Each structure stands twice: as C-alpha cells, then as structure tokens.
Structure 1
Amino acid sequence: MRLAELTSADRARAFQGDIDIAGIATDSRAVQPGYLFAALSGSKTDGAQYIEDALSRGAAALLVSPKVMRNCPLLSDNSRVAVIVDSNPRRRLARIAARFYGPQPEIAVAVTGTNGKTSIVDFTRQIWLALGRKAASIGTLGVLGDCRIAAETYVHTTPPPEILYSQLAALATQGVTHVAVEASSHGLAQYRLDGMQLRAAALTNIARDHLDYHADERAYMYAKLRLFGEVLAPGGAAVLSREAEVFSEAESLSWARGQQIVSVGGRFGDLRLLSCEVAGERQHLRIGLGTREWEIDLALPGRFQAMNALMAAALVISCGEDPEDVFGVLPALVAVPGRLELVGKTSLGAPVFVDYAHTPDALRAVLETVRPHCRGRLRLVFGCGGDRDRGKRPMMGAVAQQLADEIYVTDDNPRSEQPETIRAAICAQCPSARDLDDRRGAIALAISEMGADDLLVIAGKGHETGQQFSDRTEPFDDRLVAADCLAAEAVKNADRGGAHEHS
C-alpha cells in the first residue's frame, strides 16, 4: 500500500515521491525491505534505540514521536527514509495498521474489566455461532471460532496492532462477520484497539491488578474506561455491569458520549438475574429483560458464570439479535478452558477444579462459588506471578486464609523474581498455609490428602501451558498435571484395595 494512503502527506517527509509500504513492525528484528517501523517507547525498552537496526534491514518509513525526531541524529541526517511524526504514535500506529490490513468483520465488540473478559468473549462467540452467525473471538486463548488463523507466538490478551488488524482482516476475508475481542488495560493504554469500528463494548468490573504497569489504581481504571471514553463511538452500545464499583463513572461517561447504555445485574439493571438455584454442577436461572422473564438451565457452576453469560447475551442482543433467540441458546454454553474447569475426581469422588483466578477478587469469587459444593475440606493450591503487582500477594493470601480450609502456597510464574520471596509475601497473610516450592508436588500432595467430601481448587494459571522462570519456560499445564496426579492416586488406591482383599 502507498504511504499516502496510510497517512496524510503533510505528516510524512516524502522520499522520491510516494513509496510502497510492504509491512508494519514494532520489533526491528521483524523488519523486511519496504516495511514501516514504529519506534515506540515502552516501559522496558525504547524503540528509538532500534532505528538503526530497522534501517539496516530495509525499513522504508518510520513512525516516531516529536521527541525522537528532535533527538535522533539518524533522522535529521537521513533523507532516504520517510518519517511520520505524531505526538501519539501508538494511536497513529493502530489507525495505520487498520488501514493497511483493510477489512474487518462487520460486527465487532470488545470486553474489558479485571475479571471475566475471556469467558464473556468466548460466550459471545458461542452464542453467535449457535444462532448461525459466522463468528470468532480474539484474546487470551488466541483466535477461536469459525476460521483458520495461524497461531501467533504473541500471548498477551490484546495483540499489538500489527497482529490484531492482520487477524481481523484474515477473519473478514474468510467470511467471518462477527468478532469479540478482549480489551486489556495494557491494550487500551497503548491504543491498540483505536483502529477498530466497534458496535458495542462491555465492562465487567475493575479491581486491583497490573499495578506493576499502571502508576496506581486510578490510572488502571482510566485505562479501562478509555474503551468507552475514546474507542467506542457515539451511538454504540455500552454494556455495563451494574454490580461493578465503577458503574456510576462508566454510566456517566457513556451517557456523555451519546452511547446506548445497557446495564446488567443488580435490582435495576436492564437485564437482571432474578434468581439462581444450584442443581449439581448446573444452575437454574430466572432472568428479566424489561417486563419479560425467562427461565434457563445453565450448564456452568457459579453465580459469576451466570453473570458472564448475561453480559455476553446483552452484547449479542445489543448487536441486533432477538432476545428470545439469544436466551434460547444459553443452555448450550460450555465452560471456557481453565475457568472453573472440572478436570476430574479422586477415587473417592472428590472433585478437582482448575481456574485462572490470579487477583484477590477473582480468587474470592471462585472460592465462594465452590464452597456450597464442598461438604468437607476446601483445599486450595495457588501462587502469584513474578514481575507483576506485588501488592496483591498478601491480599490473595488473606483471601485464602479466610475462605479455604487447607492451603498449599506454591510457585506460579516466578519469572525473574526469587520464588521463595513471592511465596513469603503470600504466606505473611496466610499463616496456616504450607509453603511448597514444587507446583507439581503441591498438586500431588493436595490430591493425596483429599477425603471423599473434599474439594480442590488449583488457581492462578488456568489454561496456560508453560511455567516461566528467569531463564526458561518449562511445559506445565495445571489441567494435565492434575489429571496425571489423579490417575496416580487412583492406581495407588486400587493397589491398596487389592492388598486389603488378599490379606
């Protein structure tokens, strides 16, 4: 695509007239001849340091801030490259990437919030598919749905623009008409979604998280609310959880922007959860929309999962689907991998769940959800990630101390930190916990100690398939490890039973 098609001519220093742009990169190592390289400053590295490398690899154009333009000698002396100068290069990159890659699915929605994004995005995709729409989702679990997209090594919740808009274009080219995208606080703060044309957006809740990146909780909240204050256009549908502490702020912001507000939950929500009755591993819901009511059987445990399903339903209805049809397919929803996923039972029939809960609020929600299903000891295996918000470690320890009966504190993803330091911070508010440095061993120990009426939650990693250390990432999937430990426990108990029979 020609540079003039990507950006207005007065913002780019022309070289030999207009030039062709062959691709876009934010990593100089990915630059090929004819690429546009965005030299972005980040929390750990400054892209300006890699301009020379990008030029050596054939970059034909650069996107930089005014500060980089002033201070980089390579740019003032280099007339062989076009330079786009923008005071907000990240937002400009998203818009350039959207224009470069082209088509997007006709109906797009985004979901933000501390907890529930992955489930709501996945449920939204499932509902659309059940209604006969060609749909996909993009987020923590990758690109899923009625499509074939090559897997990316980038594992963050919201992909960077050069990947996100490439994926959206590929989906549209394959005939996908509906897409749901997770909008992380990082992705919003870095303007990654600013090239999307959203029909609707949803907010679940805002609780403490990612303060290793954001300056404070208020900055974190503002990043989340950008989805409604800047990304979702006037006239779009703002689906807001009425049970979120920041509901009033989000409602006022959406009202000022001229968006159609759809509130979910609480006594006065547009879409309300009137009652929720547990029936084994299912629940019977009575829901209200306006003056009408529906009764639904949901094959998902926990009130928070019911709320996730209603948030997804509200998004789909806001995009034009008939409520009767939407509520009619909710019973077909299936659990998202690693989200309160039942991975098996011990030989005595005690259930083992794996969940992604890695914030105090999420851990509390999971433990309160499973407690009614546990007649014996509620056991919990968990840890906290390294190089992440350190303040939430004692908070999660306090939640575990309050709500679990047997606690096994172990390693999550230590990354560059000393694992024992992370565990000590958790145990400071969780004195009854056992401090175990081997996650596999902690899971095995917890399973071996379970009685018939006990229940085990393995929290923190959910669907993840690796454990990150300072110098390596080792294969590790809580679900597979738990299944292996359950199999070993079953064999051991069978052998023990056989020995008793022959004695």
Structure 2
Amino acid sequence: MRVWGITGTNGKTTTTWILAQFLNAAPDQACGYVTTVEVDTLKRRFYTGYTTPPCAQLEGIFREMEESGATDCAMEVSSHAIHQNRTGATVFAGGAFTNLSEDHLDYHKTMAEYFRVKLSFAAKIAAQHASDPEPPPYVVCLDGGYGEEMRSAVSKFRLRVVPVSFRRTAYDLSRLPLVGDYNKSNVLTAAALAEAAGVEKAVIQGQIPLLTPRWGRLERVPSASAADVYVDFAHTPDGLEKVLAAARGFTRGRLWVVFGAGGDRDPLKRGPMGAACAKGADRLVITSDNPRSEDPQAIMDAIVAGVRAAKPDAVYRVEADRAAAIRLALAEAQKGDTVLVCGKGHETTQEIKGVKIPFDDRAVVRAFA
C-alpha cells in the first residue's frame, strides 16, 4: 500500500480528502485516509483525536487498510508529528506541501523553525527513495505562504518537484462545487499527487464537479436564522483571511464572523486573528474557543487589541459564552447576510480547565429558534 503525505498549516484535511476522492474514482484503486476529522480504513471510520496519530496506532491503521483492500492511503502529516517522529516507521510514496503561515509557535517558537520542520518531511521522503531509479514526487503549492521558498528548498533534494497554482492550470475548475481560491489550490495540489499516483487526467477532471467538502470546512448548516450560516475550522490569521474572502464572494449583505482563539496555544496569533477578521468581516462576535487553562477574558482582550489596531471603527461584540455568542449573531443577522462560525469546525467539545465539555457549533446553529 502506498502512503501519500500532505503537510502544511492550512488545507491539509481538505487536500487529503480530495486526494482520496480522486484515487477512489480511478479503476483498480482503493484509498483510505487519515485526517484530523476522521480515519477511514475502508472497513470502518473513526476519530483518533489526532491530526497524525502516534506511530503504533498508525501501524494498526495501515494494517487494517491493507486487509480491507486499500492500494493507497492519503494522510495528513502535522508539524508535531514530523518533529516527534510519529511517522518514523512510515515509508511515503510521495508528498505535498500546501502552505505555511503563523501557527503552533508555542511549540516551534519561530517561523524559521516551523519551516525547517516542514522541510524535513520532504527530506525524509527523498532519503527513503535515495536508491530508487526515479525520484519520488513532491507537490508544492505556490499560492499560499512560503510556497516559493519551499519549492526552492526542496529542489535541493532528490525529488520530482511538482509546483501547482490555480493561476496556471490545465484543469477546468469552473464547475468546482467548493468555493474560494484556497479550495482551488487544495484541489490542484491533490490532483497533482493523484496524477503522480497514476490517476488519468480525464478521471480527475471528471471527478472535480463531483467533489464534496469535509464537514466543518465551510459547511453550510441549516438554521432558523434569516442569514446563511456556515461553520469552518479556520483558526489562524491566514485561514480566517481566506475563508472570509471566500464568503465575501457569495454574501449579498453583511458578513458576520463568530470566533475566538485557543488557550495554551500560540498567543502571538491572537492579535493578527482579530486584525484579519476586522478587515474581512462587517460584524465580529469575539468569544471563547477551547480556553483550556487560560482566562478566556485575557484571550479575548488580545483579540480585541488586534481588532482595534487594524480597524478602529470595527463593529464588534464580546461574549465569552460561545453558545450565546453564536445565538447573538444568528439573531441579529438579516436576510442576505452570512454568518461564519469559525475555529472549531468538526470539533464536538469545548476544553475548559482540563475538562472537555460536549459542544458542537453545528448543533448550536441547528437548535437556534
């Protein structure tokens, strides 16, 4: 079974999911996947709680996939997993890099170190195939942050580097059902890796109009609100900027965003997250998002500082109770408006003081009356 690894700050889950769809559309190929949202071994689907599970658990997952007839596995590879060598026993057939932007600096400390860890994934794949007649494929998306830098860096390894960009593609994306330029990038990254896996271009093109999104990724949720409501996992400045830009494209009225920032995680991104939302949305509701051991008010204050610095006249509300914050936006939004509830996406808990409390943004939206 071939394993294809996708790494990057944003877009890993969607790109991995799309790659699995492309591979499963090809004759004589069957692809399982390992993502933040769920694992599919072709025998069963389940949630691990990890983007990339620990080594021992991964080996069990791969074994079950192979026993279920999988020819391929599409897998997210997080920077934590790379640094902690969770994939040390995994041989990758090829890989892909989506983008890099500020995140996880509580762990990696600097963007330079974050980049170095991501780069080491490409180096690992090159080393694994050093004696092969042909170098393994490594797809680099040029549309996001650090794309050109990563292409330059990985070109020094023995890899077949495949750069992609939605600005230069032979694929017709006019019927792509996923919105936003960032999703075009995700699709093309997955398409390039699928081509490397032997999927015909005609099969990929035929599958593009049939692609489905992952839940919690710009997922439209039915609600009694007058507005259109979406839930998304965006939790970085870059991710928020991109999803807001995508939503702006289909919003006739005001664009609302409900969001917070995680506690015990990179504190430096909180102000920039506020700035991104101030610039990209018309109405902001700042709330809690897994505050963990931190004071939710302190986190929200840091976000507000970023909002005020970026746009002094920004219209925003602060509500620490996440359910109340969502209901506030749904109640005040009007017909033609769009409400984006960002940060948790597929998650079904809110972590406070070491306790994971059942909480699902989508359930709150559906229950609104």
TM-score, normalised via structure 1 length: 0.68
Q: Distance in 2 between the 1:347 and 1:440 partners?
A: 14
Alignment match of 2:287 (pick from 410, 419, 425)? 410
- Code of the residue aligned with 1:118 in structure 2: it is T
Indicate the residue corresponding to 1:238 in structure 2.
Answer: 138
- Code of the residue aligned with 1:255 in structure 2: it is S
Cα distance, 1:220–1:367 mapped onto 2, change above 3 Å = same
- In the TM superposition, residue 435 of structure 1 has moved relative to its aligned partner by 1.1
**Rg larger in 1 or in 2?**
1
- Tell me if structure 2 keeps the 8 A contact 1:229–1:253: no
- In the TM superposition, residue 400 of structure 1 has moved relative to its aligned partner by 1.2
Number of residue pairs matched by the alignment: 356
Q: Distance in 2 between the 1:381 and 1:392 partners?
A: 17
Q: Distance in 2 between the 1:410 and 1:244 partners?
A: 28
Corresponding position: 1:383 with 2:283: no
- In the TM superposition, residue 256 of structure 1 has moved relative to its aligned partner by 2.2
Corresponding position: 1:119 with 2:19: no
Alignment match of 1:300 (pick from 178, 181, 191)? 178
- In the TM superposition, residue 406 of structure 1 has moved relative to its aligned partner by 1.0
Indicate the residue corresponding to 2:346 in structure 1.
Answer: 463
Indicate the residue corresponding to 2:155 in structure 1.
Answer: 255
Task: Report which stretch shifted further, 258-267 or 460-469.
Answer: 258-267
- In the TM superposition, residue 467 of structure 1 has moved relative to its aligned partner by 0.4
Indicate the residue corresponding to 1:436 in structure 2.
Answer: 319
Q: Distance in 1 between the 2:89 and 2:354 partners?
A: 36
- Tell me if structure 1 keeps the 8 A contact 2:55–2:88: no
- Tell me if structure 2 keeps the 8 A contact 1:296–1:327: no
TM-score, normalised via structure 2 length: 0.92
Alignment match of 1:323 (pick from 196, 201, 212)? 201
- Tell me if structure 2 keeps the 8 A contact 1:193–1:231: no
- Tell me if structure 1 keeps the 8 A contact 2:262–2:289: yes
Q: Distance in 2 between the 1:356 and 1:115 partners?
A: 10
- Tell me if structure 1 keeps the 8 A contact 2:251–2:337: yes
- Code of the residue aligned with 2:161 in structure 1: it is I
Task: Report which stretch shifted further, 182-191 or 294-303.
Answer: 294-303
Post-superposition CA distance 1:339-383 (Å, at most 9, x none): 0001125454x2100000000000000101111211211111000
Stretches of structure 1 that go unaligned for 5 or more consecutive residues are: 1-105, 273-286, 489-503
Indicate the residue corresponding to 1:280 in structure 2.
Answer: none
- Code of the residue aligned with 1:219 in structure 2: it is E
Greater RCO (Cα-Cα under 8 Å, separation 6 or more): 2
Superposed CA RMSD = 1.6
- Code of the residue aligned with 2:2 in structure 1: it is I
Q: Distance in 1 between the 2:209 and 2:357 partners?
A: 37
Q: Distance in 2 between the 1:208 and 1:140 partners?
A: 19
Corresponding position: 1:226 with 2:123: no
Corresponding position: 1:190 with 2:68: no
Q: Distance in 1 between the 2:148 and 2:177 partners?
A: 32
Cα distance, 1:333–1:195 mapped onto 2, change above 3 Å = same
Alignment match of 1:419 (pick from 296, 299, 324)? 296
Stretches of structure 2 that go unaligned for 5 or more consecutive residues are: 309-314
Corresponding position: 1:148 with 2:64: no
Alignment match of 1:340 (pick from 218, 221, 224)? 218
Q: Distance in 1 between the 2:56 and 2:107 partners?
A: 22
- Code of the residue aligned with 2:336 in structure 1: it is D
- Code of the residue aligned with 2:218 in structure 1: it is L
Describe how 1:472-483 pairs up with structure 2 within 5 A: 472-483=355-366
